[in-house]
Amino acid sequence: MLNLSQKERMLLEDQKSHEQMCIENYTQFSQRAKCPELKQLFNEYVTKEQQHLDSINQILNGSVPNIQGGNQEQQSQPKTFAQSNTYDSEDALLCKDALMAEKYISGAYNTTIFECCDTNLRQVLNHIQKEEQEHGEGIFNYMKSKGIYNPQ
């Protein structure tokens, strides 16, 4: 049984609300997106964010969830998208909003990880943070492929 400090519980409650927000936002974004590739990406993220929420709830209930693959990090391949120089302005706005949220949430996980005493809990949160960063990478790659964002 995991015994959380008051600070750990407070930070995890924040992460829980972030995950709930992500689920709601990605659900709405997938309904609003015009591009089928973007709709699919947002729908995939709804599923992943629900898994994150389930893990946070498990932790708040006193147990450390098993992450897929145990301690072995699964190497995910970056998503690729059809190249295009045209995009819907609403899709661009959704992407910018989602990317900004992923940046914030990844940073919040960083703080939470450093405040946790239990090594196994840190590993689970680190795994979630890595997936949040992968979401950001997927959105970034989509934006880059459509000409929404051009890093120089």
Q: Which tokens sit at 53?
A: 């929420």
Q: Domain total for the chain?
A: 1
In a domain, 73, yes or no: no
Helices (H), the chain: 6-32, 36-60, 89-115, 119-146
Please check whether residue 37 is in contact with residue 82, taking contact to mean a CB–CB distance below 8 angstroms: yes
Which pTM value belongs to this model?
0.90
In this predicted model, what pLDDT tens digit does every residue of 8-47 receive, in sequence order?
999 999 999 999 999 999 999 999 999 999 999 999 999 9
pLDDT reported for residue 75: 58
Q: Which tokens sit at 75?
A: 């190497």
Q: How many CB atoms lie within 10 A of CB 47?
A: 10
In a domain, 44, yes or no: yes
CATH classification at residue 105: 1.20.1260.10
Q: What dihedral angle (degrees, nearest 10) is formed by the CA atoms of 145, 146, 151, 152? A: 100
Please check whether residue 42 is in contact with residue 26, taking contact to mean a CB–CB distance below 8 angstroms: yes
pLDDT > 90 fraction of the chain, expressed in percent and rounded: 82
By C-alpha distance, which of 17, 146, 152 is closest to 94? Answer: 146
By C-alpha distance, which of 20, 146, 9, 1 is closest to 83? Answer: 146
In a domain, 76, yes or no: no
In a domain, 75, yes or no: no
Q: Which tokens sit at 42?
A: 């947002």
Per-residue pLDDT of the chain (152 residues; tens, 9 = 90+): 899 999 999 999 999 999 999 999 999 999 999 999 999 999 999 999 999 999 999 999 999 998 865 444 455 677 888 888 778 999 999 999 999 999 999 999 999 999 999 999 999 999 999 999 999 999 999 999 999 988 87
Q: What residues make up the domain containing 119?
A: 6-62+83-146
